[in-house]
Structure 1
């Protein structure tokens, strides 16, 4: 899942300083799961913004709305009504949602309310850890399902580095050396031979070399043509 955290209130207030009526738009996708942009966070942020503006002598009116997702056009159609109701909007979706909503509804001034941080897992309540970099050239078959690109501070292949001591990362001693984890995992699986050869430099082209990455499935496009057509005017 995509992990995000809310921007400081002061920064959000600076974004909407010229406006007296704004929408705060949440998302029930990833940002809701990591408690950054769901229904509750929309309510809390709206109240905090109104209180701050009231204390500054410049009252603010808010409209609160949480969408199923902000990364699919069909779920963004409620925004079409907002352009005549508010002067601006704060989106609590990840950066993908802010980009798409701004592209589809350029008449609405949409500002980000969260910082998108990483792709992560939720190993325990209130904790999220980066486990994937979305590099487009997955090598988890070679590393026992543990990603050195995301989980090594130096993004090393053919690790560990010379700074690793006592199975800990030299950058952060509280973090296990991912290459020790990989070694232990492969040993337990009886697959240590995967580490016996030197791996060639990673192919970074799929990671975005040459511009934004895109993926197309013509079969899905044909099947869903009617679904997406006319979704946004």
Structure 2
């Protein structure tokens, strides 16, 4: 899931300067779960914009803001006139969603959220980064724990000298050392031979930008 957080209201207000008619687009997927771009948050933002003297022409929460199909179905078709009359669109979704709205509508967009990371959901309002989308997954060899993401230094061949009692120095020993976790996991699985396996430096060619995945 893409984890987002709302930008400071003052920053949003500054970006909206010069625009009086605004349409708001949220996201029914990740941003709804993060409570940053669901129906409730979109309604609250609409009230804030009205207090700022903006004319909110309407709002919509498509099933997924990053999908052209849902944007056309849930936003463009039912709100064609409102979107057409809007001077700007405030997007309460991740960066991909905001760019999709910009491409589909052709309107100036104002991103209301900051995209933080790809995360897992532990429980309500508790999200943790676990994947960097590096394009070359090595989880089989590390017990299902990604060292690129969970090690602050992205080390691939065991812990650095700064770990103490299983904790990471980069976070003032507040978080677990990824490589200690990997060691314990592989030990539990009887696969410690993988811990001793030498891993070559990361090939970052799979991480070149921009990336795409298209097939028929």
Same fold (TM over 0.5): yes
Tell me the equivalent position of 1:190. Answer: 190
Please say if 1:36 is aligned against 2:36: yes
Deviation at 1:197, TM superposition (A): 2.3
Give the counterpart of 2:69 among 71, 74, 78: 74
Q: Deviations over 1:23-68 (max 9, x none)?
A: 11111011111111111110111112222x1xxxxx2121221111
Matches within 5 A, 1:1-233: 1-51=1-51, 53=52, 59-62=53-56, 63-77=58-72, 78-79=75-76, 81=80, 82-106=82-106, 108-172=107-171, 173-208=173-208, 211-218=209-216
Deviation at 1:100, TM superposition (A): 1.8
TM-score scaled by length of structure 1: 0.86
How large is the RMSD of aligned CA atoms in angstroms? 1.2
Judge conservation of contact 1:22–1:89 (CA < 8 Å) in 2.
yes
Q: Deviations over 1:109-156 (max 9, x none)?
A: 111110000000111221111000000000000011111111111111
CA distance in 1, matches of 2:45, 2:183: 45
CA distance in 1, matches of 2:84, 2:202: 50
CA distance in 2, matches of 1:23, 1:146: 42
For structure 1, the 5+ residue unaligned runs are 54-58, 219-233
SS at match of 2:155: coil
How many residue pairs align between the two structures?
209
Judge conservation of contact 1:9–1:49 (CA < 8 Å) in 2.
no
